[in-house]
Chains A and B, each alone.
Chain A
Amino acid sequence: MEAQRRLIHQLAREVRHLETAGRRQAGRVVSSGCPAMDRLLASHGYEPGSVVEYLRSGRACGATYFALAAAASAQAARDGYLVIVDRWRRLYPPQLLAHKIDLQRTIWVYPDSDRDAVWALDQALRTAAVSAVVAEVDGLDSRAARRLQLAAETGGGLGLLVRPAEVRRHPSWSEVQWLIRPDPTARGAVGMHRGRRLRAHLLRNRGGRSGAVATLQIDGLSGQIVASDQSATDRGNGNEQTGAVHLAAELARPKDIGRDAAAG
């Protein structure tokens, strides 16, 4: 039994090597921005030259936050540039500061059409100096997706695409595909000021096992994405410290209104 498992593991590794042989450089893997998510991935992070898709279940479910966390991690790891391809001109630049992204090394591209957006993505992914490209892409046909994947392999950066959940049934060329959803059990368990609890469902994991689900929390104080349990422990300590030191800041912080309290 053990020998069989070892054989499967070895074969999986060989398949992964064959699949990723086209990559120009086999550099260090880049963290997804969350250790708990990294542990679910075949390489414990994103391979350079990968396309990663974050599918969102709703308009405001937190998928972009995950993409920005990975982009920050890639920018720090490779000391390169970040390109944001924003078709609808809605991404809010100051939010990138919360992820400690260097705005001096961030290029914003506002294309006027889907065609221009795919072209800009392709150009940016082909550039070796670009660590990551973040884009919201709704419609992407198979050819365009393959083109982006080849571009990422050429440049060695990360393509981080935020897409609607409806495309999960479509064929994909991405290495990793996550479905981000709010955690249905979070209601009432976590106050808004303490953070946001989400579920990341690993739909596609090239060279590794898919199907895993991670319950995660965006910490309200640090902004880090942590496993939900760990978050509770860590933040428990953090709260005591914050309460003791930053009294003035707490007064300036907007208060938390429960739905019932507000109604009353």
Chain B
Amino acid sequence: MVVAACNRAARQQGIIAGMRVSEAAATGDVEIREYDPEEDLDRLCELAELAQQFSPLVGLEQLDRCLWAGRGLHRPEALLLDVTGIGPLFGGEAALVRQVGQWLRSQRFYGRMAIAGTVGAAWAVAACSRELEPVTPSHAHPSAGIAAGSPAQESPSGDRPRAVPGTEATGEPANNSMVDSADATQANIAADAAHEHTSQIPPSRFGIVAAGDDAEAVMHLPCHALRISAEQWTALQRLGLHTIASVLALPRSGLATRFGALFLQRLDQATGRLEEPIVTIGGRPDWCLEHALEYPTQDRAIVEESVCRLVEDLGRRLDSRGEGALRITCRLDFAESSPLLLQIGLFRPTHQTKHLQNLIIAQLESHLARQSARAVTRIGLHATLTAALRWKQTLLFDQQAAANRHEVARLIDVLSSRLGRKSVLQARPRREAQPESAFRMRPLTGRRHDGQPQDTVKKLSTRWAAQRAEPSSTDPLRRPTHLLPSPEPIRVAWEGPATAAPPHRFFHQGRWRTVVEAIGPERLESGWWRGPGQRREYYRIVDSHGDWFWIYRDLRTGQWFLHGWFD
């Protein structure tokens, strides 16, 4: 178990990504939270959607295999923006990148950005250059984007920083003479981002590579700026090749023989010899619809009518391909403020126009009701995740089960649409001693369900579920019905001197409660590999009113906590 990401404070203590969690825990008082890759990617995709205010072509970096960038990259961490010809609209490339930096800050992200002629060069500069310039507030233009929801609120890690995405943005070199060159028309912006409180977030940094200087800009950078595999990077180190310049000094034929064709491809992409397309997150263009209004309007009826028409169009397209939408994004661009992004998640793929319209309009109404009237200029609708519609022949007497599935899917969609995807969940038990980690909640919508598991897997998972069950059905009163999200410190008292035994009285909800009976201790300890160990002694206690509580003594500090109750 290794560290996926860490904040600045942790880095100052010597913790780095890739380090074993047990080693990181040994460095001092650190808080360790579980990394959720799915949520991470969701947030990056959401950023990519919002970044379309700067460029119509936004994508994520592609990771064909685990790459080495000073650490293993398992998931996309960079946003790629094609800003060819866009700089002048923002007052120049420098102004553009500063606006992007301010926008990232408003989203509580720290970004490392670069504009260059190729994706590879921009990535290398953003990730590895030590000469990036900070986006200072005095430089900054008014913030270009305010998002719906902040990452710190949505993240399970709360406001604790979490390393996420690096990004890259590419832009067209300012020199017009380069526009005709196919190789030079691409560039990227990269931003390495981390969640923090806005006031604590350092200003993003950026670098701009002059037109035609891509090869020169990456020369002095370390070899891992080439986005190569860990094995290739180790081999280069063994040969004493530490910078890209030292690699370029060698004959190409030798490099191809020793490191393979992919290595040369990466080298060419970084130096601008080879074009690298940006794969947009939009996926198939068929699922992206847009409607530009003839004039900006605040009339809600017109906006809703336009959305309904786009949904009808999308429904027809999905129907013709035999597919259904699992996630839909609706973007409203306003005349004078940042866009509004609505995310719709569905439990099962669907192309039913009426159902989709109801979900989107309900969410649109609740958003517009909370905000002051703004003039809408453009409406975009985008099915970001689709899946084939599954038609399964039902048994003659199984029609009720099929109807149930259909009704429940509708209920989940409606609840998720109004309350949010993260408020309609499914619980899964986990084999963890620590009570708060003994289950995991997962959103029910916006996920692709890949059919039933194989029989063997199903059997095994059932057996596992039975083993994991805590409390088991043979010991039903062992765990509480209610668990506090974070244990509540309580004042306790004994009739004599304080002992390790459960207290005679404890203070809860404004009054002292007398303990008349107790069962315990049940010692629960978290695994050492999960970081600073939790060592607790739990007691089930009954007070004089007959109420049952679950309290524990922290063996490290000796303090008592209320963790739940048996209602």
Contact = CB atoms under 8 A, between A and B. Distances in A.
A147 B279 CA distance: 50
B403 interface: yes
B412 interface: yes
Most chain B CB atoms below 10 A, which of A100, A116, A129, A258 = A129
Contacts of A64: 481-482, 567
Q: Which 4 A-B pairs have the closest CB atoms?
A: A182-B546, A223-B476, A93-B427, A60-B565
Given A62-B548, A123-B411, A192-B540, 19 more contacts: A56-B567, A63-B567, A79-B404, A81-B404, A90-B483, A90-B485, A98-B477, A108-B427, A109-B415, A109-B425, A123-B414, A127-B407, A128-B407, A162-B567, A182-B545, A187-B516, A255-B520, A257-B501, A262-B501
B473 A263 contact: no
A130 B485 contact: no
Contacts of B415: 107, 109, 120, 123-124
Interface in A184-237: 184, 186-187, 191-193, 195-196, 198, 218, 220-223
B439 interface: yes
Given A123-B411, A254-B520, A103 B427 contact: yes
B541 to A, nearest CB: 9
A127 B423 CA distance: 18
B427 A263 contact: no
B405 A103 contact: no
A99 to B, nearest CB: 7
A104 B425 CA distance: 11
Contacts of A165: none
B298 to A, nearest CB: 27
Contacts of B473: 97-100, 223
A76 interface: no
B418 interface: yes
9 contacts: A79-B404, A90-B482, A93-B429, A94-B429, A109-B424, A116-B419, A129-B403, A256-B519, A263-B494
Interface of B: 401, 403-405, 407-408, 410-412, 414-415, 418-419, 422-429, 435, 438-439, 441, 444, 469-477, 479-485, 494-496, 501-502, 504, 509, 515-522, 540, 542, 545-549, 564-567
B537 to A, nearest CB: 10
A259 interface: yes
Nearest to B423: A110
Given A97-B469, A123-B411, A223-B473, A192 B426 contact: no
B424 A107 contact: yes
Contacts of B412: 107
Nearest to B545: A58
Interface in A71-99: 79-81, 83, 89-99
Interface residues of A, number: 72
Given A90-B485, A95-B479, A61 B567 contact: yes
Given A90-B485, A258-B517, A97 B429 contact: yes
A108 B441 contact: yes
Contacts of B419: 109-112, 116, 120
Nearest to B550: A60
A50 B153 CA distance: 38
Nearest to B410: A127
Contacts of B515: 259
A68 interface: yes
A250 to B, nearest CB: 11
Contacts of A198: 546
Contacts of B426: 103-104, 106-108
Contacts of A116: 418-419
B496 to A, nearest CB: 7
Contact of B411 (A65, A130, A192, A257): A130
Given A108-B441, A182-B547, A129 B407 contact: yes
A262 B469 contact: no
Nearest to B494: A263
Nearest to B424: A109
Given A58-B545, A65-B481, A107-B424, A259 B403 contact: no
A106 B401 CA distance: 16
Interface in A242-263: 253-259, 262-263
A116 to B, nearest CB: 6
Contacts of A98: 469, 471-473, 475-477, 479
Given A58-B545, A129-B407, A90 B517 contact: no
Contacts of B418: 116, 119
A59 interface: yes
Given A98-B472, A107-B426, A109-B415, A91 B546 contact: no
A92 B441 CA distance: 11
A212 to B, nearest CB: 20
Contacts of B482: 60, 64, 90-92
A239 B126 CA distance: 69
A256 B542 CA distance: 12
B481 A129 contact: no
Contact of A127 (B411, B425, B429, B483): B411
B485 A262 contact: no
Given A59-B567, A98-B476, A196 B481 contact: no
Nearest to A58: B547
A183 B407 contact: no
Contact of B439 (A93, A184, A263): A93
Contacts of B546: 58, 61, 181-184, 186-187, 198
Given A196-B548, A263-B495, A59 B519 contact: no
A116 B424 CA distance: 12
A107 B475 CA distance: 24
